[in-house]
Structure 1
Amino acid sequence: MQPVLAGLVSAVVGYASSFSVVLAGLQAVGADSRQAASGLLALCTGIAVSAAVLSVRYRMPVAIAWSTPGAALLVSAGQVTGGYPAAIGAFAVCGVLTVLAGLVPWLARGVAAIPGPIAAAMLAGVLVPLCTAPLRAMADVPLLAGPVILTWAVLMRYARQWAVAGALVAAVAGLAISGAAFPAASLRPDPVFTMPAVTLPALVGIALPLFLVTMAGQNVPGAAVLSTYGYSVPLRGALVTTGLVSTAAAPFGGHAVNLAAITAAMTAGPDAHPDPARRWVATLALGAGQLTLGLGAAFATALVVASPPVLVTAVAGLALLPALATSLATAFTGTERREAAAVTFVVTASATSIAGVGSAFWGLIAGSLALLLTRRRTAPPSAGQPPASAEPMPHAESEPARSA
């Protein structure tokens, strides 16, 4: 039972810590409450299918999750030309790009070639508006937000893995005490199909940034976590499987499923099972737990509808604070690319849409241009002169490794 319990705990922690981010992201790009619930259900189903296929195929604890950075990106992107159907089309294109990254080596290498500080700064810029939401909630609904933040702070000190789940429970309790009306919700699955549409602003503003933040913020660190525990990561199989599942889930509102990064250690570490060869059972339990939780997507959406929007965003912001901290540390650790990372971060965090395209794309473009402008050039030594000069050459710092 040890790996089963580890997988179920991982499912609960992963779901409770970020389902509000997913629902906020889907509603930001134009989904109504029924479509948002369908998207949450599609993601949970996609996680279950991908986890089952990969764990049984490779006998490894290949944990799967939805793209939390991608959901945060949707919040900052907002509605694009073509509305929700265009966002659905962008989700499907992102899934296809993930499949291609698994099949075409140069595409995966191209994503990996994006400098770590630039990718991290873009992700940090996407997360900042959400991570400042607890402050806005304290200003707007202090009696509801105060207990939520206090619960989160206490659990961060004594039971870190349950901090966000505890904050969510505090929010529900506060709403119940305040007399908020909870809409009736059924546990019956209610998938809603939306015909995808393709528009250029959605492709540039959602599909491409969603693919990049999912690869850089989830798949790369997720593979690194598995490697840390001694597993030879089947990255090609994982990308193809999650890409196909994401493409299939897109018409029902699923934005992206991918390798788990934060919760991967819960199923790949020794707490799941002393024998590494038995830990794959934990990811089977993770998938089953997510599928079960997905049946309550309508109830979760009803809870969000009954809550003040700023309170829901505040809980999401608390969940994303660790990811923001890691992104900022990665973006600004080195010195050579610090200015370019700052440009990327500022442009992305501005949440400014230009020509119908969201700020994440413009942040990546602006940061890349800044990197070209600030890159140091070393002149070759003239003939007959030694390469060393009287003054020591500046020492280039190594690029920090990416992390979740």
Structure 2
Amino acid sequence: MRLQPVLAGIVLAIVGFASSFAVVLAGLRAIGADERQAASGLLVLSLTMGLSAVYLGLRHRMPISIAWSTPGAALLATGVGRDITYREALGAFAVTGILLVLTGMSARLARLLAAIPVPLASAMLAGVLLPLCLAPVKAVAELPRAAIPVVLTWLVLGRFTRTKVWAVPAALAVALAAIWLTRSPGAPPLGGHAPVLAFEWPALSLNALIGIALPLYIVTMASQNIPGMSVMAANGYHPDLRPVLTTTGAGTVLGAPFGGHAINLAAITAQLAAGPDAHPDPGRRWIASVTGGAGYLLLGLTSGLAVSFVSTAPPLLIESVAGLALFAALASSLHAAVQDPGTRESAVIALAVSASGITALGIGAPFWGLLTGLAYHHLTRPRGRTAATPEHA
């Protein structure tokens, strides 16, 4: 019983890292990071979210799990920053962190974010995730010998067993085995890849602020922090969101010059620490989130090896694992996007534009998707109120 929350924290760290680090690497590649910079980004994200989880867990004695922004990494992987330099992307990451800190400090900014209809934010996220979720389909057609075993592993563990949480890590393990078996004899050795932090001065540009910082901030809040609070509440915990936002925002700012895009409250893996499987006593479950944070610190030491190994693989195979990891998020986003009949059409428009991959005025599709969805929503919503009833006359 004493070891139960420790074991839950170890599982949390392994699942959280293994299930989505491919998405993070795909996002860093898309903004122009080389192998060294990608390893630095993976390392600094592991460090900042690990330290934040340890601090918040010890400070508040609650299972406050911290994760990197998987939807944010997926946003980058869609090529939203193709006309933006790597240093400008780092500047956008820093601004995202500042926005998170300001949201934690300003009730007005929090209300402004809350004014964005949830279906439209969900539709934008669904449009961001859709291209990546198509990667497994493309991989099965183009790389059948490597991709089919990966997809089958994910399907069997996710559908026919009770260990669904291990479906994506197991699929990743099969993908790594396929990469190892197909490595060319002249491929560089994998040893000696020590973790490294590669510093770059961030740069600011309007295109990066509108095309990356704003959508990254919105998807991080709407798809990570808010659902994460819901998971906590469902398990009987009601932490103040403000210190969580200021802590993760500060961590994002500090990690930005080293390639870290954003850290936030965990959503999917939060249940592993906050739920009864972590410990029957709710007062002991904070140990799981703190252990998970320590686990992220250790897993970050493997970042150089992970990037070196993955760099020898076909990009489509890694993207297919990322797509499998995001299917659940896509399903949840689609459900939230079309659930309300009053915003359904505007949400579909936001989804279509966000998924289109267009770039206009140097700004990527997610921003235009949210903008067009909001414009259509305000143009088509009913004006005024219905005729007054006698009691309101």
Superposition TM-score, scaled by structure 2 size = 0.95
C-alpha contact 2:127 2:351 (8 A) present in aligned 1:
yes
| Aligned-partner Cα distance in 2 for 1:127–1:182 | 33
Cα distance in 2 for partners of 1:229, 1:186 equals 43
- Sort the Cα spacing of 1:286 and 1:375 in 2 relative to 1 into closer, same or farther, 3 A: same
Comparing 265-274 with 176-185, greater Cα deviation is found at: 176-185
Q: Which residue matches 1:339? A: 345
Q: Provide, for residues 157-178 of structure 1, a one-character-per-residue CA deviation record: whole Å limited to 9, x for no partner.
A: 2121111011111111112223
For 1:269 and 1:380, locate their aligned partners in 2 and report how far apart those are by CA, in whole Å. 46
Equivalent pair of 2:350/2:373 in contact (CA under 8 Å): yes
Cα distance 1:179–1:85, how it changes in 2: closer, same or farther (>3 A)?
A: closer
Unaligned runs of 5+ in 2: none
- The aligned amino acid for 1:172 is L
* 1:366 is the counterpart of 2:372: yes
Task: Give me the whole-angstrom Cα distance separating, in 2, the residues matched to 1:377 and 1:247.
Answer: 42
Deviation at 1:59, TM superposition (A): 0.5
Is 1:116 the counterpart of 2:112? The answer is: no
Residue 64 (structure 1) aligned to one of 66, 69, 75: 66
The code of the aligned residue for 2:99 comes to: L
Change (3 A) 1:96 1:386: same
CA shift, 1:82, in A, is 4.7
1:186, distance to aligned residue in structure 2 (A):
3.1
Which residue number corresponds to residue 30 of structure 1?
32
Q: Give the distance between the partners of 1:103 and 1:182, measured in 2 at CA.
A: 49
Q: Deviations over 1:102-154 (max 9, x none)?
A: 00011112112210110100000000000000111112111000100011100
Superposed displacement of residue 4, structure 1: 0.8
Q: Which residue is equivalent to 2:179? A: 175
Q: Is the 8 A contact 1:38 1:253 kept in 2?
A: yes
The equivalent of 1:394 in structure 2 is none
The alignment's C-alpha RMSD in Å is 1.4
* Cα pair 2:183 2:312 within 8 Å, conserved: no
- 2-side partners of 1:187 and 1:274: how far apart? 41
- The amino acid of 2:232's aligned partner reads L
- Paired amino acid for 1:150: L
The residue number in structure 2 matching 1:193 is 199
User: Contact (CA 8 Å) 1:183, 1:302: kept in 2 or not?
Assistant: no
Aligned partners of 1:187 and 1:295 also within 8 Å: no
Equivalent residues of 1:125, 1:348 under 8 A apart: yes
Counterpart of 2:315 in structure 1 is 309
Contact 1:77 1:205 in 2 (8 A): no
Q: Look up the match of 1:253.
A: 259
2:240 aligned with 1:238: no
CA distance in 2, matches of 1:186, 1:350: 41
| Paired position in structure 1 for 2:156 | 154
- Per the TM alignment, residue 246 of structure 1 is displaced from its structure 2 partner at its CA by 0.7
Matched residues in 2 for 1:65 and 1:203: separation?
Answer: 23
CA contact (8 A) 1:44 1:293 kept: yes
Shift of 1:188: 2.2
Which residue is 1:92 aligned to? 94
Q: Which AA in structure 2 matches 1:171?
A: A
Query: How many Å separate the matches in 2 of 1:308 and 1:12?
Result: 24
Is the Cα–Cα contact under 8 Å of residues 194 and 305 in structure 2 kept in the other structure? no
Return 5+ residue gaps in structure 1 as ranges: 389-404
**Residues 274-283 or 250-259, more deviating:** 274-283
Select between 47-56 and 74-83 the one with higher mean Cα deviation. 74-83
- 8 Å CA contact 1:182, 1:303 repeated in 2: no
Once residues 114 and 104 of structure 2 are traced to their aligned partners in structure 1, the CA distance between those partners, rounded to angstroms, is 13
SS at match of 1:381: coil
Structure-1 residue corresponding to 2:48: 46
Corresponding residue of 1:13 = 15
Offset, 1:77: 3.6
1:2 alignment counterpart = 4
1:7 Cα deviation from its structure 2 partner? 0.5
CA distance in 1, matches of 2:93, 2:206: 13
After superposing the two structures, state which structure 1 stretch, 104-113 or 314-323, moved more: 104-113
For 2:183 and 2:142, the matched residues in 1 are separated by 18
AA aligned opposite 1:251:
P
Cα deviations across residues 256-284 of structure 1 (Å, max 9, x unaligned)?
A: 00000000000011111111111111111
Contact 2:81–2:364 (Cα < 8 Å) also in 1: no
> Cα 1:298–1:101, aligned 2, differ >3 Å: closer, same or farther?
same
What is the percent sequence identity of the aligned residues? 53
Secondary structure of 1:194's counterpart equals: coil
Instruction: Give the counterpart letter for 1:327 in structure 2.
Output: S
From 195, 200, 214, the counterpart of 2:220: 214
What is the one-letter code of the residue matched to 1:178? T
